[in-house]
């Protein structure tokens, strides 16, 4: 029995590869940062060839550094930044435009056109999503509108669309396989999550040819084989990064929830085989598809989570290393009344305001750098708490605990503040690489490395539990201040000025 699993974790800021054994021990990690391209204000792009080349490079590096024979790898699992949109030439394999990243706001007017056509309710009920420029659908239309001849060629099947998982699978299999999984399809704003098919009404409204779309498969099966110099390894698991993290946290039962602290923050709660329609601005999405069984989730997204720390480091130059934020935040006893709302690209759930912008309020003559850094740290927890409250209202239940992962979950100050402001125990696992672990789990199940989810559940181990320590009165005052600050950031831009 081959006992190694290779997870390819293609994220917004980097491409990573992690090699696990069947006991979920990490044997090797390799990572390369990804170039971010900002052609105009609010636009975010990446080079699809760099996405692939960086991912391929770390895959080869991780195998070489581990000393493991590629033929001993049972399967590859892929997890990816979601909604990021790539169109490429089927014959040459060359992209026809840069990847438009999920954060990009350029298609906000196209979303408004859909709303003006009265399609808002149809989008919510069919796709489970809130109409927004965040998702893939309007990004596809934008590229087809702006690249000469693209729509006509796409109708003939000469131009292919894919999210990042689809692009990587196509490249790794030498152009033999054009597929995506149900979790990624559910993030395009084109996929009927109930009928499990592309939606003709939305395809027609956006003038997107069905011929360019990938086949939608389950999250755990053998899709094809990655061609390496000395081996052909089955690609056997695919899930969007947040669904992969939910699976990696073994949130298999209805009511299980996790929050991932990355570039953005993503809170997901498993709702089982029932798709719950949110009344509080959350998304209904596919959590996982195993065989013919679909599990759904409620999801809330914070667009700017850990990215606010990167902003303080790179643009404001408040410190040299992201990890220094934790140190500076603890140099003051509180924020001195300062709130930072990092709505740099609008606000996600539960507000869904494409025209919100960042604001810093409560500044006095005594405000210091440390106060602003602490306010930035706290903003991540406040935004996550907004999601948690919305989720509890939708499910009419109090969350017993929250599993956490992602880079910023290493920050003990942030995790304690999250427990305090949410009044909820926070559980951090021993294996923090839960996104990659989820991809490995899905791939391993498909090829028999693990027999079932019960076996995976027994492997999960808790590292730290952060218990709430803040009194209710203090929590109420802080949350009131946060709500006031968010109110200042809403509807800042005028819709006609976003183009």
Torsion of CA 103, 108, 114, 118, to 10 degrees: 110
Q: Is the previous residue joined to 3 through a cis bond, with omega within 30 degrees of 0?
A: no
* Residue 241 annotated as lining a ligand binding site: yes
Report DSSP state, residue 435: H
Please indicate if the annotation marks 464 as binding a ligand: no
- Phi then psi dihedrals of residue 126, to 5 deg: -85, -50
Q: Find out whether 242 is annotated in a ligand binding site.
A: yes
407 annotated as a binding-site residue: yes
134 is in an annotated binding site: yes
And the tokens for 340?
Answer: 């930072």
The annotation status of 14 as a binding-site residue, yes or no, is yes
Cα(123)–Cα(142) distance, integer angstroms: 18
In 24-69 the beta strands, taken as DSSP E runs, fall at: 26-33, 45-46
* Helix pair angle (307-314, 369-395), 10° resolution: 170
Closest CA to 140 of 122, 119, 162: 162
Specify the DSSP element, H or E, that contains 143.
helix 136-146
Binding residue per annotation — 82? Answer: yes
Locate 247 and state its tokens.
């699976």
Query: Across the strands, what pairs with 300?
Result: 267
Q: How does DSSP classify residue 85? A: B
Instruction: For residue 333, count other CB atoms closer than 10 A to its CB.
Output: 7
12 carries a ligand binding annotation = yes
The answer to whether 263 is annotated as binding is yes
409 is in an annotated binding site: no
Q: Tell me the longest C-alpha to C-alpha distance in the chain.
A: 66
- 162 labelled ligand-binding: no
Binding region for ADP: 12, 16, 263, 306, 407
Binding region for glycerol: 82-83, 134, 241-242
Binding region for ATP: 12-14, 263, 306, 310, 407
Binding region for sn-glycerol 3-phosphate: 12, 82-83, 134, 241
Binding region: 12-14, 16, 82-83, 134, 241-242, 263, 306, 310, 407
């Amino acid at each position: 029995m081959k006992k190694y699993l290779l997870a390819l974790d293609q994220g917004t800021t980097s491409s990573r590869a992690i090699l696990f054994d069947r006991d979920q021990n990490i044997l090797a990690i390799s990572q390369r940062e990804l170039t971010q391209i900002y052609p105009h204000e609010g636009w975010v792009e990446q080079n699809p060839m760099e996405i692939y080349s960086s991912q391929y490079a770390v895959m080869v590096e991780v195998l070489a550094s581990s000393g493991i024979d590629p033929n001993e790898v049972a399967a590859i699992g892929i997890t990816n930044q979601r909604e990021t949109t790539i169109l490429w030439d089927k014959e040459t394999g060359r992209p026809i435009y840069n990847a438009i990243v999920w954060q990009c706001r350029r298609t906000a007017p196209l979303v408004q056109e859909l709303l003006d056509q009265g399609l808002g309710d149809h989008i919510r009920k069919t796709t489970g999503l809130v109409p927004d420029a965040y998702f893939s659908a309007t990004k596809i239309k934008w590229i087809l509108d702006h690249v000469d001849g693209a729509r006509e060629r796409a109708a003939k099947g000469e131009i292919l669309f894919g999210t990042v998982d689809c692009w990587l699978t196509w490249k790794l299999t030498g152009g033999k396989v054009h597929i995506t999984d149900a979790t990624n399809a559910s993030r395009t704003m084109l996929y009927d999550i109930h009928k499990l098919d592309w939606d003709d009404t939305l395809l027609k409204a956006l003038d997107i040819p069905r011929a360019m779309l990938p086949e939608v498969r389950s999250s755990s099966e053998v899709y094809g084989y990655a061609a390496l110099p000395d081996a052909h390894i089955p690609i056997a698991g695919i899930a969007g990064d947040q669904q992969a993290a939910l699976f990696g946290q073994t949130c298999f039962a209805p009511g299980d929830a996790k929050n991932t602290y990355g570039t953005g923050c993503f809170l997901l709660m498993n709702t089982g085989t029932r798709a719950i329609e949110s009344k509080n601005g959350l998304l209904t999405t596919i959590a996982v598809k195993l065989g013919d069984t679909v599990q759904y989730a409620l999801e809330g997204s914070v667009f700017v989570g850990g990215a606010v720390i990167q902003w303080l480091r790179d643009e404001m130059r408040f410190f040299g290393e992201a990890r220094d934020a934790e140190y500076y935040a603890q140099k003051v006893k509180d924020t001195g009344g300062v709130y930072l709302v990092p709505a740099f690209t609008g606000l996600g759930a539960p507000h869904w305001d494409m025209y919100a912008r960042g604001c810093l309020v409560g500044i006095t003559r005594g405000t210091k750098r440390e106060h602003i850094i602490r306010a930035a740290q706290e903003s991540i927890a406040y935004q996550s708490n907004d999601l948690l409250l919305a989720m509890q209202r939708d499910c009419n239940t109090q969350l017993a605990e929250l599993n956490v992962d992602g880079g910023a979950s290493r920050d003990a100050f942030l995790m304690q503040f999250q427990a305090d402001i949410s009044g909820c125990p926070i559980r951090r696992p021993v294996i923090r690489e839960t996104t990659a672990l989820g991809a490995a789990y899905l791939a391993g199940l498909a090829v028999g490395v693990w027999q079932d989810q019960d076996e995976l559940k027994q492997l999960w181990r808790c590292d730290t539990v952060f218990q709430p320590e803040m009194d209710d009165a203090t929590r109420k005052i802080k949350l009131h201040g946060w709500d006031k600050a968010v109110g200042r950031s809403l509807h800042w831009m005028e819709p006609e000025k976003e183009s």
